[in-house]
Each structure stands twice: as C-alpha cells, then as structure tokens.
C-alpha cells in the first residue's frame, strides 16, 4: 500500500475521531453554574460529590445506559444512633421527609406527577 493511499484513509478516520472528541473537550471546559449554596466536592470514577448549604451531600452518578433516574437519599442517622428514650426517631424522620411544606403540601403526589415512585425504607 502506498503512502498516499494510507494518508487518504487516515484523514477521514482522524476527522471522525475529532468530531466525537471536540464536543467532549468543550463540555469539560464549559463552566457549570451551580445553584447558590451548592459547592462541588471531589469526583472519583465518574461519581461527583456536591455539598448543600444545609450539610446534605449529594453524589451524582450519571448512567446514560438507563432510561430512568434513580434518587436515593441516605441520612446518616438511624436506630443505631438513637439514645435512651429516642426509640423511633429514625422512623419519624422517614415520615417527615414526605410530610410536605406550605409551598409543597403533598410531596408524594408531586413526585408521582413527575413520574417518580416515592418510597421510604
């Protein structure tokens, strides 16, 4: 195979590769504007940590192979952290998460309207 023929085949392949890589590079350089009170923590193997002003940590793990979104909220409290006379506090917290607020009185209904299936364990 001649050098001219090799180069002729190489340029289209390089062009296709650049078409795929340039948007990725542009995405990496684009600054993401985080909401007020949210700071970005470390990223490890595609999982990025965000910290909210109220102390809640959010781990974002995009999975483009899935057609759905899964949200797991884990509070670092539970029955093993309850002291004497506090039995049931973790279970109460579970119910309070879905209780609602004046602006959002029916959290489970709002989640359902957006296609979510709320559940607590």
Task: List active site positions.
Answer: 94
Is there a contact between 99 and 109 (Cβ–Cβ < 8 Å)?
A: no
Q: State the Cα–Cα distance between residues 73 and 111, nearest whole angstrom.
A: 14
**Paired residues of 39 in beta bridges:** 51
Residue 39: which of 26, 25, 51, 47 has the closest Cα? 51
DSSP secondary structure of 1-53: --HHHHHHHHHHHHHHHHHHHHHHHHHHHSPP-PPTTEEEEEEETTEEEEEET
């Amino acid at each position: 195979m001649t050098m001219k023929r090799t180069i002729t085949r190489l340029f289209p392949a390089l062009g296709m590769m650049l078409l795929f890589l340039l948007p990725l590079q542009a995405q990496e350089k684009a600054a993401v504007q985080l909401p007020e009170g949210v700071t970005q923590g470390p990223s490890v193997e595609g999982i990025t940590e965000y910290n909210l002003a109220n102390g809640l940590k959010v781990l974002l793990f995009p999975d483009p192979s899935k057609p759905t979104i899964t949200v797991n909220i884990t509070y670092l409290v539970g029955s093993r952290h309850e002291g004497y006379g506090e039995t049931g506090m973790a279970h109460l917290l579970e119910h309070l998460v879905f209780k609602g607020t004046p602006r959002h009185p029916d959290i489970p209904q709002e989640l359902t309207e957006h296609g979510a299936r709320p559940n607590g364990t």
